[in-house]
Amino acid sequence: MAAKGDMIYAWTTDSEIAKKAECGGAVTALLKYALENKMVDAVLAIKKGQDVYDAVPTYITDPKDLKDTAGSLHCGSVLLSKVILKYLKGAKDKKIAVTVKGCDLMGLCELANRNEINLNNLLLIGVNCGGTVSPVKARKMIKEAFKVDPDTVHKEEIDKGQFIIEFEGGHKGISIDELENEGFGRRSNCRRCLYKVPRQADLACGNWGVIGEKAGKATFVEICSDKGSDLINKAIKSGAIGTSPAEPKGIDIRGKVEGAMLKLGQKWRKKDFTNLKNNLWETISKETSRCIKCYSCIENCPVCTTLDISENGKKSLMVDDGTIPPNPMFHMRRFAHISDSCINCGQCEELCAMDIPLALFSHAIRSESDIVFEPKLGDPVYKN
């Protein structure tokens, strides 16, 4: 019996899923099993829309539709935590299985802390994440760096330090480091991310550490909760998935890959934050002067919630209505509001109509407050 803490290789036994899936299709098979056997009422996953640059959140109640969500989309930058809050009532009235990367999971935890999401009703299938690429910038990157028509690309992947595309007529891979040094590659917030394996989910899944004959044919699964082990054991017993113990060498390789990704994240943090250190507020004031006050940053932030505060029937605001660009206090209030809880998901920056590097600013402020307020090892809080 699989238990919390175990690491296994898993793969689907469903031939239809296997045809469309990557890494053995274990994630899709587990979601299908959970839905078929009423462990959940629905599944929230991502599927390809018009092309590989179009990631579409999809609410599924028919297990047959899950095959359409198989595979990965690195050129889609959707954050599912706010989708669950805005469109699925915070999972307060239904049990939902959902695939999550690190920032999705952090967003859900922050919303749960605000009693906006019911985590008990969520079955969380985590997927390792090396980062995502903005859809618009991905098309530009493929055209200029790969010299390939982006409309001919039918598959993309980030693997072994490369961004790889398959297109009509062939395939091509370029080093992520090379792309990012040229101004392409992953979103800036993804470069700084230090949450690559989502262990706060019920299962953490990916291809890192799958070696030998199972390489490319199985998913590495780390069981992170009792809920996760229950799903795995039931799926094994039913024959929905096949499993084998993870190879010790594979476990070691997975750890090394994760460690390399974390070092890369630290490198980007140092680079990005050092450039801001001496003129943070001057830079914020200059960049935010382009703001058109569309409120996209607030609407899409998973930790920024707004209240309609009225006094004697009239709104009481620290920022004047209708002023464009808004007084700098508009952004100062927002940064102060999320300074202790920014999850570096990048949605504020990704969806900013004026291309203001908002994620960089809020993440820098959050990181600075972490340095000041986080207890250091050896402090009384760490002693029993």
Per-residue pLDDT reduced to its tens digit, 174-198: 999 899 989 999 999 999 999 999 9
Q: Which long-range contacts (CB under 8 A, 24 or more apart) does 141-149 make?
A: 141/179, 141/184, 141/185, 144/184, 145/174, 145/179, 145/182, 145/184, 146/172, 146/174, 148/172
pLDDT tens per residue across span 225-234:
999 999 999 9
pLDDT category at 384 given cuts 50, 70, 90 is very low
Is the pLDDT score of 331 beyond 60? yes
CA distance 110 to 128: 20
**Once rounded to an integer, what is the mean pLDDT over residues 92-119?**
95
pLDDT at 380: 41
Q: What is the pLDDT of residue 372?
A: 64
Question: Do 24 and 219 form a contact (C-beta atoms < 8 A)?
Answer: yes
CB distance 196 to 130 below 8 Å: yes
Once rounded to an integer, what is the mean pLDDT over residues 114-143? 95
Mean pLDDT within 138-148: 95
pLDDT of residue 368: 78
**The pLDDT value given to residue 341:** 87
Please report the pLDDT score of residue 313 as a whole number: 52
Q: Among residues 12, 76, 74, 84, which one has the least CA distance to residue 42?
A: 84
pLDDT in tens, 53-63: 999 999 999 99
Rounded CA gap, 194 and 131, in Å? 10
What is the percentage of the chain residues whose pLDDT exceeds 90?
Answer: 69
Higher pLDDT, 322 or 288: 288
Estimate the crossing angle of helix 358-373 against helix 329-338, to 10 degrees: 50
The stretch 301-316 carries a mean pLDDT of: 62
User: What does the pLDDT average to over 204-209?
Assistant: 95
- The set of long-range contacts for 137-144, using a CB threshold of 8 Å and a minimum separation of 24, is 137/184, 138/53, 138/75, 139/53, 140/184, 141/179, 141/184, 141/185, 144/184
Q: Are 365 and 339 in contact (CB under 8 A)?
A: yes
pLDDT-derived band of residue 307, with 50, 70 and 90 as boundaries? low
Nearest to 55 by CA among 99, 85, 93, 91: 99
For the cut 60, the answer to whether the pLDDT of residue 315 exceeds it is no
pLDDT for the residue numbered 65:
94
Q: How far apart are CA 43 and CA 27, in angstroms?
A: 12
Strand-pair partners of 159: 162
Any idea which of 93-107, 169-183, 320-334, 351-365 has the lowest mean pLDDT? 320-334
Contact (CB, 8 A) for 95 and 121: yes
The distance of Cα 147 from the centroid of its chain, to the nearest Å, equals 28
pLDDT at 319 over 80: no
Q: Can you give the pLDDT at residue 382?
A: 31
Residue 295: phi, psi to the nearest 5? 70, 10
- pLDDT at residue 379 tops 60: no
Q: Which of 69-83, 201-215, 257-271, 308-322 has the lowest mean pLDDT?
A: 308-322
Quickly state the pLDDT bin for 377 (edges 50, 70, 90): very low
pLDDT for 383: 34
Report the percentage of the chain scoring pLDDT > 70. Answer: 92
The whole-number pLDDT of residue 381 equals 36
pLDDT band for 274, please (50, 70, 90 cuts): confident
Mean pLDDT of 314-326: 66
Residue range 307-314: average pLDDT? 52
Whole-prediction pTM: 0.89
Q: State the pLDDT confidence band at 39, using cuts at 50, 70 and 90.
A: very high
Q: How far apart are the first and last CA of the chain?
A: 33
Work out the pLDDT band at 338, boundaries 50, 70, 90: confident
Per-residue model confidence (pLDDT) at position 267:
92
175-179, 240-244, 331-335: which range is least confident on average?
Answer: 331-335
Q: Per mean pLDDT, which range of 209-218, 281-290, 292-301, 369-378 is the poorest?
A: 369-378
